[in-house]
Structure 1
């Protein structure tokens, strides 16, 4: 079935006004912050006696401080009140903050500008839970990845353009300061106008009683999220990304000036490349995920963050070894820097960090939105924002400590990349579903090209039994990759003894089963486990043939499916795999080398899904007939 392009959402009122409100808010935040950071980095003496490296880590820390204090309250407000009206209130607040900050710019009063930084942090804190709770209310499940991707792309393009405009305007003489003050007020007004076009979005918990004890409510939010292990660890993964990003991005002004020996335009160049990378990665999620929440992209993104973070360290060393001749001359503009040896490698690493960051963050957002309690989604997002803030404060603190201990900025990049590898291993060991989905995604995007037919018949929620023909040892991985949610596979217990596949299926919580004559206790336990899984609302997949085919033909379906349905009255969904016969991991009798060359590295496969069968209509013979019809002549 063809899917609409994700950009078509920008033509619809349920998405476009929200998108532009979010875009303009991100744009204004970063126009203001970047202008302040640039003026305090490149013209520090006329504003403050603090060192530039301390300022560039301190200002982001002040911006995110309100996330710690106000996120719990913001989550409650977003669950209690209608979201369009709440958004308009927040945009009026932004306009007031920018007017105060404008006075600070025009009077050269640093404390008013610092107050503006904190105020914009409050604005972003209040809008965050509204933003991520609005999307699942207005978008269909199959639109959620695309909608999140476009939103993240818009956010980072807004960040990029705001950073560029802030850095360019503030250094213009003699009117740069006044231009920044006027621009921030104007953009806030545009955001307010866009907010008045957002359609009503009902409150999920209008009866909620607001608790103003932000400490107690913050703890309650996080404890509530911890009840759903996958959601909570996804929140931690999301917060880790902001730790990584904050640690790297906050170094760019001083890195551009003191290490690359560039002027403010070099700083803008680094931000431009990074933001384009995140925007591109966010949009790629739609294509790579197949219009579903594909958390297999998360480990892929994490690998890229480590690989290119490490290479950024080595690229910086290579650039530094050849930069000695520059240190005596004036700081170079961005175009002049591009001619320096090693600069393109640095930019490529930053671009790839951005792309893999987008692949990492978008599926995590969509997973949190789809797996958490709908009545608690804003408070869940608020809890995540609290964690984000704590992680970013920790990032600023770590940067200040390491730089104070004599670490160079490239060494800071290396430490961040290596920490990312350790954190990734830890999170994926706690939630093996991420790794399982990654292996499945890798299989069907490298070794195979998998076409699905009516895969939307696999239910997004609720219990069901999937039945399929059994052709190879990778059947479960192919089926799992096509499913919008985890599947509990019932597998022959001997598969669990195989070195790699056994680990994969244990990780996926597959249910081992044995023939009654071989191990009657294990067989009965399997049926109990299946009934329990269905009772909990899981998807369970069985291969009713009981073993891999040795001929490529579908063998007789055993009576186990009838026993399962007798215990659990759930629908049964027939499916058929096509194209796996002759695979290296099938039981084809052909020579292994012939099979390898016959199927090739990008062999075509298909998974066809039939209409659900009501439990009272289920028979092994009927299901076998339907699976055979779905498969057709293509083995």
Structure 2
């Protein structure tokens, strides 16, 4: 849809240092945790001690999320963000210095104290990690930027686990010293790069920090529930952590008991899932067309369920033989199906979670975003703990096998997805509109990023060619827009549900239904007063001959009402090109004139459509004639 790529962000200072810092942090955390496991083997501790660590470590790491997320969210809101990142990465140097001492002395108590410190540092970094993105990225870059962050995080975790696991295998007697040096050097590298991040203003520098943990935790959790879509996006992210925790917790035993492999096969399984997450995450920008496309969320949810279900059927029982190497496993019948399932789960997980992060960032007020992220982190921690406990209960209390856990997870994921999409129909509506637009058309955008404002009220005016115009424009504009449409189009069966869910505004002519017309003007006025985008088709009806009909005076009435309130609304002229003759326009071939000719499916399916946007016109000078001329110029001869 556009010549832009999210990977261009990796060449820009506003994003690259931040991306490197968050990736290095994830990498170092996992090097540290895997190195502790390596140290336990190096020290030849008993199985009981290993089991004690296995149970203590996750609890110690996640405890700070419950204790300090509320404070972290307030601090992230109050401080300049680059400064806070430097502070947290400086903390990481101090914490990893303590951890290094633990490796050198081979002291588990010191290492566990440092592990609590890494959890604390992650708690403080979490709110700024995601709240900084809307400040450094444009709305059309949010999906791509979040995709890069999720890809970087998933790959950093995987590579960190591999690197940390190899330290004691390759370094031998020098393992404790190599581990100590590695984590300190990585922390220093992160702090050095953090100083290259440009300064980013605080969300709310006047905020007074409430140090009462319980009271403020409740308050910030309530912030996550102010808007229905944000509340359920937060729920979706927490569910992502639940699914990921249940799945990845089973992989070590699954690789051995059900796949018949060794530790290397567990790494392969984790790698397939992690690479899938990375690929899915960075694919979101292309699939969404650089808008915050929450229509990908249902696709991701049901895709995850489908691959989890197939993973159960691919290997429902234990392996018949054990001790397989990676290559031996790959050569076995049915192995490629399992590998595809693990990759597919990760791929659709990326489709699921990246738009949710982008939605939370785009629809939350800047002065509340860090606290909303902190509230989400508290809820995430609850879901992670619940996932661990449920996973243990299903296997040890109920005696379920790991494939049966996967089956239960597939069913639960489907039910949770249906629940979310039922109470927030916008997700499913966006999926249906996304599917329609991407199936029928190939879009190319011109000028939208430059001319459609990133925030604040604006009136968009466009020529009206087909019944799909509103869906095409909504798929092209980075921000949500309220569409004013002829009430007979609004009331088309099936499409009516989509339009109503998208908060479209039906309008009728003064002679047809004066009450509907007046209600439409009132709704437009209220939307502009709230700083929303409103899109109208000033021709008043679909074109009958491909030409642009004269613009009606309703656009001037909208601007006059806004001016009467003291609001000057910019007007952005837009044009759809190459839509005339598509299957949803009114063009009828003079010779045939039938329905099939009108639809022209063989010729116009997947038609190349261009969406043009021009320089905004000041609402104080905009007239119907001027705007019509601008739209005509944008459309040109390409009807």
Q: Output the TM-score relative to the length of structure 1.
A: 0.90
1:473 counterpart = 2:467: yes
- Secondary structure of 1:362's match? helix
Structure 1 CA distance, aligned partners of 2:62 and 2:557? 56
- Secondary structure of 1:338's match? helix
1:622 counterpart = 2:626: yes
Partner of 1:72: 70
Structure 2 CA distance, aligned partners of 1:299 and 1:361? 10
Shift of 1:22: 1.5
Structure-2 change in CA distance of 1:633 and 1:263 (3 Å): same
Shift of 1:577: 1.8
Shift of 1:118: 2.8
Shift of 1:248: 0.9
Post-superposition Cα deviations, 1:3-34, rounded to whole Å, max 9, x if no partner, equal: 65433443444433332222221012112333
**Residues 154 and 278, structure 2, Cα contact 8 Å, conserved in 1:** yes
2:61 to 58, 63, 79: 63
Structure 2 CA distance, aligned partners of 1:350 and 1:289? 24
Q: RMSD between aligned alpha carbons?
A: 2.9
Shift of 1:265: 0.9
**Residues 582 and 604, structure 2, Cα contact 8 Å, conserved in 1:** no
**Residues 583 and 605, structure 2, Cα contact 8 Å, conserved in 1:** no
Partner of 1:21: 21
Q: Output the TM-score relative to the length of structure 2.
A: 0.90
Partner of 1:364: 356
Q: Could you list the runs of 5+ residues in structure 2 that have no partner in the other structure? A: 564-568
Partner of 2:566: none
- Secondary structure of 1:556's match? coil
- Secondary structure of 1:617's match? coil
Structure 2 CA distance, aligned partners of 1:91 and 1:618? 52
Mean Cα displacement is larger for which, 498-507 or 96-105?
A: 96-105
List aligned pairs for 1:370-449, cutoff 5 A: 370-404=362-396, 405-449=398-442
Structure-2 change in CA distance of 1:386 and 1:175 (3 Å): same
Structure 2 CA distance, aligned partners of 1:302 and 1:44? 43
1:7 counterpart = 2:10: no
Structure 1 CA distance, aligned partners of 2:13 and 2:632? 45
- Secondary structure of 1:250's match? helix
Post-superposition Cα deviations, 1:158-180, rounded to whole Å, max 9, x if no partner, equal: 11111112233345585485244
Structure-2 change in CA distance of 1:475 and 1:118 (3 Å): same
Structure 2 CA distance, aligned partners of 1:43 and 1:260? 27
Structure 1 CA distance, aligned partners of 2:533 and 2:497? 20
Shift of 1:608: 1.9
Mean Cα displacement is larger for which, 573-582 or 394-403?
A: 573-582
Shift of 1:398: 1.5
Post-superposition Cα deviations, 1:72-96, rounded to whole Å, max 9, x if no partner, equal: 1111222223333433332343334
1:557 to 547, 551, 560: 551
Shift of 1:422: 2.2
Structure 1 CA distance, aligned partners of 2:625 and 2:187? 66
Post-superposition Cα deviations, 1:436-479, rounded to whole Å, max 9, x if no partner, equal: 33333323332211122222322222222222222221111011
1:94 counterpart = 2:88: no
**Residues 106 and 177, structure 1, Cα contact 8 Å, conserved in 2:** no
**Residues 69 and 374, structure 2, Cα contact 8 Å, conserved in 1:** yes
Structure 2 CA distance, aligned partners of 1:531 and 1:389? 42
Partner of 1:33: 33
Structure-2 change in CA distance of 1:509 and 1:56 (3 Å): farther
1:529 counterpart = 2:529: no
Shift of 1:61: 4.3
Shift of 1:57: 7.1
**Residues 79 and 378, structure 1, Cα contact 8 Å, conserved in 2:** yes
**Residues 582 and 607, structure 2, Cα contact 8 Å, conserved in 1:** no
Structure 1 CA distance, aligned partners of 2:114 and 2:445? 52
Mean Cα displacement is larger for which, 378-387 or 185-194?
A: 185-194
1:491 to 467, 472, 485: 485
Partner of 2:613: 609
Partner of 2:580: 581
Structure-2 change in CA distance of 1:101 and 1:334 (3 Å): farther
1:460 counterpart = 2:454: yes
Structure 2 CA distance, aligned partners of 1:606 and 1:12? 28
Post-superposition Cα deviations, 1:551-596, rounded to whole Å, max 9, x if no partner, equal: 3233333332233222223233332222222222222333333333
Structure 2 CA distance, aligned partners of 1:547 and 1:57? 66
List aligned pairs for 1:339-358, cutoff 5 A: 339-358=331-350
**Residues 223 and 375, structure 2, Cα contact 8 Å, conserved in 1:** no
Partner of 2:166: 168
Shift of 1:102: 4.2
List aligned pairs for 1:585-604, cutoff 5 A: 585-589=584-588, 590-594=593-597, 595-604=599-608
Structure 2 CA distance, aligned partners of 1:536 and 1:193? 42
**Residues 437 and 480, structure 1, Cα contact 8 Å, conserved in 2:** no
Structure-2 change in CA distance of 1:170 and 1:309 (3 Å): farther
- Secondary structure of 2:550's match? coil
How many equivalent pairs are there? 626
Structure 2 CA distance, aligned partners of 1:581 and 1:4? 27
Structure 1 CA distance, aligned partners of 2:103 and 2:309? 39
Structure-2 change in CA distance of 1:305 and 1:600 (3 Å): same
Mean Cα displacement is larger for which, 526-535 or 420-429?
A: 420-429
Partner of 2:281: 282
Post-superposition Cα deviations, 1:212-249, rounded to whole Å, max 9, x if no partner, equal: 21111111112223223333322222222111111111
Mean Cα displacement is larger for which, 623-632 or 43-52?
A: 43-52
Structure-2 change in CA distance of 1:268 and 1:343 (3 Å): same
Mean Cα displacement is larger for which, 455-464 or 469-478?
A: 455-464
Structure 2 CA distance, aligned partners of 1:162 and 1:453? 42
**Residues 94 and 120, structure 1, Cα contact 8 Å, conserved in 2:** yes
Structure 2 CA distance, aligned partners of 1:56 and 1:355? 29
Partner of 1:207: 206
Mean Cα displacement is larger for which, 99-108 or 530-539?
A: 99-108
Structure-2 change in CA distance of 1:624 and 1:422 (3 Å): same
Shift of 1:59: 4.0
Structure 2 CA distance, aligned partners of 1:472 and 1:44? 72
Structure 1 CA distance, aligned partners of 2:432 and 2:577? 20
- Secondary structure of 1:205's match? coil
List aligned pairs for 1:45-56, cutoff 5 A: 46-49=45-48
**Residues 469 and 627, structure 1, Cα contact 8 Å, conserved in 2:** yes
Shift of 1:133: 2.7
- Secondary structure of 2:211's match? coil
Partner of 2:80: 82
Post-superposition Cα deviations, 1:231-285, rounded to whole Å, max 9, x if no partner, equal: 3322222222111111111111111122212111111111211221222222222
Shift of 1:623: 3.0
Shift of 1:111: 4.3
